[in-house]
Chains A and B, each alone.
Chain A
Amino acid sequence: MNIQGYEEGMMSPEAKDLIEKLLITDPRKRLCASGTKEIKQHPFFKGD
């Protein structure tokens, strides 16, 4: 089974990156720190 961009037991790098950045312990360093635009522009939401 192969879903484009995914392999069994793996998450897409974009999804992993977004989650890693949202789950930063210091709220001042979290992806949202400089506004929601940053989140909007994350490659994960550019999924085609």
Chain B
Amino acid sequence: MAEKAAEEEEDSEDEKIVRRKKAIFAYPADVKNSIEVKIEEDTKMGSLEPTTTIELSKTEKNQGIQQKPSMLIPKNSMNKCRIIGTPDYMAPEIVNGITTNDPASDWWSVGCLLFEFLTGIPPFNDDEVEKIFDNIRNRRIPWDSLEIGIIFHLFHEQTK
């Protein structure tokens, strides 16, 4: 009897793990599919950067729009006020002004998003926009950061 109870306990624990894993995969997979569809449709949008999927935080707006307007507004934009990227998710080729409309840049952004989904922080985040750009240019991904894993810890605590 006790054995059976333990077995049931184990099953439900497995189910919990499956649910958690599904939740972890669902959002990145959604983003991946949406961007893939957009690219395949050859949309006329200039950019598919995370501004289209993620709302700017107040801090990012302040940093992005007020400090670096020229970096964020495309030269040939149809809508002059449209922002094509937040510093955190910009690919190095965009930061360096090489291109503004390469789908590859969007995949870089997806990489940034995945990192953020799994850790809670964007990979190149810093106090100032220039520092973020510097982190991007030098590809400083904080794999050893102690913050990695916090999100899993919180997630685990909440679903207990």
Contact = CB atoms under 8 A, between A and B. Distances in A.
Interface of A: 1, 3-11, 15-16, 18-23, 25, 27-28, 30-33, 36, 39-40, 44-45, 47-48
Interface of B: 17, 20-21, 24-25, 28-29, 32, 36, 39-40, 91-93, 99, 102-105, 107-108, 110-112, 114-115, 118-119, 123, 139, 141, 143, 146, 148-149, 152-153, 155-156
A47 B24 CA distance: 10
Contacts of B99: 27
Contacts of A5: 21
- Residue from B103, B107, B119, B146 with most neighbouring chain A CB atoms (10 Å): B107
B153 A27 contact: no
A5 to B, nearest CB: 8
Contacts of B93: 27
A27 B32 contact: no
Contacts of B155: 3
Nearest to B123: A23
B21 A3 contact: yes
A39 to B, nearest CB: 7
A33 B104 contact: yes
A3 B39 CA distance: 34
Contact of B32 (A4, A7, A45): A45
Given A11-B118, A45-B32, 10 more contacts: A1-B156, A3-B20, A3-B152, A9-B146, A16-B143, A18-B114, A22-B108, A27-B99, A36-B39, A36-B40
